[in-house]
Amino acid sequence: MISKRMYPWLDERLGLSGIYKTVLDRMVPKVNWWFTLGSATLFLFALQVVTGIMLSAYYVPSPDKAYDSIQYIMNGVAFGWLIRGIHHWGATLMVITVFLHMLRVFFYAAYKYPREITWTTGVFLLLATLGMGFTGYLLPWDQKAYWATTVGTSIAGTVPGIGEFILRALRGGSDLSGVTLARFFSAHIWMFPAIIIALIGVHIYLVIRIGISSVPKEND
């Protein structure tokens, strides 16, 4: 078998058995199904990345073209409805799993010593996920998107003192325009994903280093 001879060669160079030992072949406490929510979220994020990259092959972030390009994805491109459908519903499910994951951690007190930083990165991940939702909502440039973002950004404008400035910074000017769409697109496909991927790296490193928490017993 080639693979039998290939493996030691590769292992010597890539350190595969080291990775196997630290990542896969480790002991974890016996836990329940609620503990699958984290990996479910990771899975959904991976799906969002894949479908998002696919969508960007046709999507055009301009007020004149955005709507039509999405109509084309939905009706003209083979399986466009599937890719966009998964991206759309994946976002909804991801918010749900992130939220339930956080509640699980809270109710099992898993944020306590020694997992404080895991929790903090998790909160930032929650915020970034909501940021993805907010920026992604505008991209179809339909009625729902336009008006929700108009009102959403004007809510940010009610912050005392610096509200007006925040509103302009979000919209890229005083009105919702092509500039807004371009920067929401940039935030949605580059800035937030970069932040999320970096934070997921830290989050998972910590989960593997410290180990997943156990279900608290009565004397804990």
Partner 1 sequence: MARSPNLSRRGFIMSVMTFAGSIMGIVVGLPVIGFLISPALNVTKSDAWVPVGKLDSYPVGVPTPFSFTRTKVNGWEKTVNSISVFVLRDATDKVRVFSSVCTHLGCRVTFHKDSNEFICPCHDAHFNKDGGVVSGPPPRPLDQYESKVENGALLIHVIQS
Partner 2 sequence: MNDLQKAQYKEKYLRAKRNGEKFFPDSLYRDMLVMFAIFLLLVGLAAFVGVAAEPKADPSDTAYIPRPEWYFLFLFEMLKFFPGSLEWVGTTVIPVAAVFALLLLPFYDKNPARHWKKRKFAIGFMSVVVAAMVFLTIRAVVTTPAQENAGAVATTLPAQISAGQDIYSVQCAECHGAEGEGGVIKGVKGLEGYKMKAINSQDEMYTRMDDTLYNIVEYGQPDLGMPPFGKAFGGELSRSDIDNLVTFMRYTWDNRVEVPKGAAQTNAIPALGPNDIPSYDVNIAPIVKRYCVSCHRPGKENNNYYMGSYSDLMNSGDHKPNIVAGDLNSNLIRMLHGEKIEAGGAMPPTKALSPDLISIFERWVKAGAPEKPAK
Helix (H) / strand (E) containing 46: helix 37-55
Query: Which among 52-60, 76-84, 148-156, 205-213 is the span making contact with partner 1, rule CB under 8 A?
Result: 148-156
Which residues between 17 and 76 bind partner 2 (CB under 8 A)? Answer: 23-31, 33, 35-37, 39-40, 43-44, 47, 63, 67, 71, 74-75
Of 169, 198, 208, 210, the one binding partner 1 by CB under 8 A: 169
Structure tokens at 178: 């092509």
CB 52 within 8 A of CB 189: yes
Strand, coil or helix: 41: helix
56 binds partner 1 (CB under 8 A): no
Q: At what angle do helices 37-55 and 192-210 cross, to 10 degrees?
A: 150
Conformation bin of residue 146: beta by default, left when phi > 0, alpha when psi is -120 to 50:
alpha
Of 6, 19, 53, 159, the one binding partner 2 by CB under 8 A: 159
Partner whose footprint covers residue 169, from partner 1, partner 2, none (CB < 5 to 8 Å by kind): partner 1
190 binds partner 1 (CB under 8 A): no
154 binds partner 1 (CB under 8 A): yes
- Whole-angstrom distance, CA of residue 2 vs CA of residue 47: 33
Q: What residues make contact with partner 1 under the rule CB under 8 A?
A: 63, 147, 150-151, 154-155, 157-158, 165, 168-169, 171-180, 183
